[in-house]
Amino acid sequence: MSLSSSRFPLTQAASHLRLYNSATAHIEDFTPLREGHIGMYVCGPTVQSAPHIGHMRAAIVFDIVRRWFDRLGFSVTYIRNVTDIDDKILNKSREAHEDWWAWAYHYELEFANDYRLLNVLPPTYEPRATGTIGAMIDLTQRLIDRGHAYVVMNEDGSPSGNVFFDVDSWPEYGALTHQQEGTISDNLTDGKRHPRDFALWKAPKPNDPLTAHWNTPFGAARPGWHLECSAISHRYLGDDFDIHGGGLDLRFPHHENELAQSHAAGYGFAHLWMHLAWVTQKGEKMSKSLGNGLSVEHVVDSSSAWIVRYALGSAHYLCLNGMITFLMKLKKFGIVCKNSSNLSNNIISRFQL
């Protein structure tokens, strides 16, 4: 349900929209595919560990975009997925002697709590990967039927569960980022035929729990990350939709692979891409893997959540958003908040920015 479309007609501003399309690197006139309606898909979190401020910037940026469309009078369907199964979730939960699904749900709730704390509206729908297995099977079968994916077979002729996208079969690969060198490694394991091919489904590893795979026409398997976003966006937004959003770091290989899968399946997919820059700390991207993620709890510890929301949302989404930069910006704008300097000082001293 749209927040305001029933209350506001389309404004004049709605007919003069121009948006930066990161697929073409140009500002373009924006015309929705369906008059008065916007379909938006944004890659959501992999719920492997606690959220940090970088995740919240992404949530806030697209919350602002969504609210802005809504305020202009559009009916917005906003889909953001939850990646609740992947290698990291399985590995971390195993090390902690916990069930992977309980581990994922715990962090999904932490994300939901931080979204609420920073007044990020829930999307129209928030599907989990594990709740969309059928759509992923359908998309994979379609790719196999069209000659763009292959199932790796066991020696006895049974399907192994490993399925790959055949990049050589799709000459348009690279259309989004113009990177042609393929994905991650030259490692031809699990029956992969070419280094550029990427996994659609993964056969269970010897120490994976039984609950971490599904019986599919391709063998027992769990879905790959790229497949998830193509299948979910198609299920809830259709063959074509208006905007695909996500972090700049997702452009390659994740979004390139999404685009290849969806186009190779015969779908129009996203018509415009919005990629936001990340939050930096000491000039480096804030991330779980670098171990420099600031939790929302820490940042709002001595201040109001609205300050953090304002600071994260006031930088242009294409600009890197350094913690000090955005906190100092509050003063530049003449905003006096008794806690803002405490917030800056706390962050600077506590995290040695």
At closest approach, how far in Å is the CB of 270 from Zn ion?
A: 11
Interacting residues with Zn ion between 162 and 181 (CB under 5 A) = none
Pick 229 or 231: Cβ nearer Zn ion? 229
The interface region with Zn ion, picked from 69-77, 104-112, 113-121, 222-230 by CB under 5 A, is 222-230
Cα 13 from Cα 206, distance rounded (Å): 57
Do you find a cis peptide bond into 45, omega within 30 degrees of 0?
Answer: no
At closest approach, how far in Å is the CB of 229 from Zn ion?
A: 3
Pick 43 or 294: Cβ nearer Zn ion? 43
At closest approach, how far in Å is the CB of 352 from Zn ion?
A: 33
| CA–CA distances in Å: residue 199 to residues 91, 208, 221 | 18, 17, 11
**DSSP class per residue in 83-105:** B--SHHHHHHHHHTTS-HHHHHH
Give counts: helices (H), strands (E), the chain.
10, 14
Interacting residues with Zn ion between 40 and 99 (CB under 5 A) = 43
At closest approach, how far in Å is the CB of 95 from Zn ion?
A: 26
Cα 20 from Cα 40, distance rounded (Å): 15
Interacting residues with Zn ion between 177 and 206 (CB under 5 A) = none
Among 229, 279, 312, 330, which residue sits at the site for Zn ion (rule: CB under 5 A)? Answer: 229
At closest approach, how far in Å is the CB of 289 from Zn ion?
A: 17
Contact at 8 Å (CB) between 145 and 129?
A: no
Pick 5 or 81: Cβ nearer Zn ion? 81
| Secondary element (H or E) of residue 298 | helix 296-299
The interface region with Zn ion, picked from 156-164, 223-231, 268-276, 295-303 by CB under 5 A, is 223-231
Q: What sign does the dihedral 202-206-211-217 (CA atoms) show?
A: positive
Site string for Zn ion, 16-45 (x = CB under 5 A): ---------------------------x--
At closest approach, how far in Å is the CB of 186 from Zn ion?
A: 24
- For residue 270, what are the β-bridge partners? 241
- Please provide residue 78's backbone torsions phi and psi, each rounded to the nearest 5 degrees: -115, 115
Pick 174 or 253: Cβ nearer Zn ion? 253
* Residue 201 Ramachandran class (φ > 0 left, ψ -120 to 50 alpha, else beta): beta
Pick 174 or 219: Cβ nearer Zn ion? 174
Pick 270 or 307: Cβ nearer Zn ion? 270
Cα 244 from Cα 225, distance rounded (Å): 16
Pick 82 or 323: Cβ nearer Zn ion? 82
At closest approach, how far in Å is the CB of 228 from Zn ion?
A: 7
Using CB under 5 A, list all residues that contact Zn ion. 43, 229
